[in-house]
Amino acid sequence: MKFLQILRKAATSPQNRHRVSSFSANNGRRFFSHLHSQPPPPSASFGIAFDIDGVILRGETPIGGSPQALKRLYDDSGNMSIPYVFLTNGGGVPETERAAELSKLLSVRILASQVIQGHSPFMQLVNRFENELIIAVGKGEPAKVMSEYGFKNVLSLDEYASYFEHIDPLGKFKNSTSQLAGCKKYSSKETDSENGPPSQRVEAVFIVSDSVDWSRDIQVLCDILSTGGLPGREISTQPPLYFANDDLSYQGLFPTERLGMGAFRIALESIYNRVYPNALEYTSYGKPNPFVFKNAEKILMQSICHPIEGQNPLKTLYMIGDNPLVDIKGAQQAGQPWFSILTRSGVFKGKGNHPVYPADLVVDTVEEAVDYILRKETLQT
């Protein structure tokens, strides 16, 4: 835990203050309109945003009575009666697949339009990089995610690194070197091909989900970013770098917190700034940035009956999360009409409230949170 405290201090220092890009309401409507149509629109005057890891699931196991809690948001016909979304910094798979997975695990009908992941805002950059070579980094299927968003020339870092002989000096010591059975290994002669990826300039890098191999990924990213997108060449202008979130830690299956994408960003930035003459430039998305909550608000508004232009019929929006530094801080910064509920089922395990980012309400489980919301809104089920 002392190590995590050091990382948090580094993350909030002036030298490491990350840059944030906005995610507009128009973008939100455009991004999710193609995924699936909404069910019959509910008419409630409030909405709910659920974090996933540590609130709804731990690994692939539902926790805190989450299946029962979510079922209370549907009518007897199985249609959604209370508008809600999942607002998570996680990712690594397309929203369609994440929705299908959640539906199966939680035994309710969940649409892709209800799933807002850390990398969902990357869709807004399709027009800029649609036909350019981009690199997608992280666990899961980062290249598939970006391809489904509309990027037409995308490689995962696993695939890209396989084109360069000896780019990872520790590769021969790793058991994972055989995992890329589908990625062709190219000799040094082949990598000089005029049309191969090594001869193409990488125009942007997207950290879609958590890095699996920090040593390899930091090495290759430094090669790409320091040379203007042409590893092995001279120092040049850095291509754009985007992070899906800046979480220092998250609650996984292990009893204590695990290092997240924010920790990886700190490691990459620290090394890059020590080795190369120009400081690393990047843009970070994800909670706790207020624009994420504002976008969720717009998406929830679009799911209800007859919204009035210029007015918000949702009088209260509830954020249910387990991480004070991400979920609660983000809801507080977003302001009205957000109401924050902190669960003790994940990152936060304190007896009272969080001393720095106190929630409006603290409960043990998501089921207790939903019960409170429905009682407060005078909806008895």
Domain harbouring 87, CATH code: 3.40.50.1000
Q: Which domain holds residue 53?
A: 46-118+288-379
For residues 371 and 359, membership in a common domain is answered with yes
Please say whether the beta carbons of 260 and 196 come within 8 A.
no
Q: What is the mean pLDDT of the chain?
A: 86
User: Is 151 part of a structural domain of the chain?
Assistant: yes
Task: Give the model's pLDDT for residue 312.
Answer: 62
Which two three-digit tokens encode residue 203? 């125009």
Task: Assess whether pLDDT exceeds 80 at residue 297.
Answer: yes
| Packing angle, helices 261-275 and 2-11, rounded to 10 | 60
Do the domain assignments include residue 39? no
Q: Same domain, yes or no, for 210 and 67? A: no
Of 242, 257, 284, the one marking the end of a domain is 284
Q: How far apart are CA 129 and CA 141, in angstroms?
A: 19
Q: Say if 192 falls within a structural domain.
A: yes
CA-based end-to-end distance of the chain? 41
pLDDT above 60 (res 37): no
- pLDDT grade for 193, boundaries at 50, 70 and 90: low
Mean pLDDT of all residues in 105-132: 96
Question: What percentage of the chain reaches a pLDDT higher than 70?
Answer: 81
Instruction: Taking the CA atoms of 289, 85, 35 and 39 in sequence, report the sign of the dihedral they define.
Output: negative
- Per the domain annotation, does 159 fall within a domain? yes
- The domain tally of the chain equals 2
Nearest of 38, 36, 24, 35 to residue 302 by alpha carbon: 38
Using a 10 angstrom Cβ sphere, with 0-12 exposed, 13-18 middle and 19 or more buried, the burial of residue 306 is: exposed
Q: Assess whether pLDDT exceeds 50 at residue 309.
A: yes
Q: Residue 132's pLDDT is what?
A: 97
Q: How far is CA 350 from CA 58, 148, 194, 288, 298, in A?
A: 18, 40, 58, 20, 32
Residue 180 has pLDDT above 80, yes or no: no
Residue 311 lies in a domain: yes
Is the predicted pLDDT of residue 200 greater than 50, yes or no? yes
pTM of the predicted protein model? 0.82
- Confidence label for 194 from pLDDT (cuts 50, 70 and 90): low
Q: In this predicted structure, which of 87-91, 99-103, 194-198, 247-251 has the lowest mean pLDDT?
A: 194-198
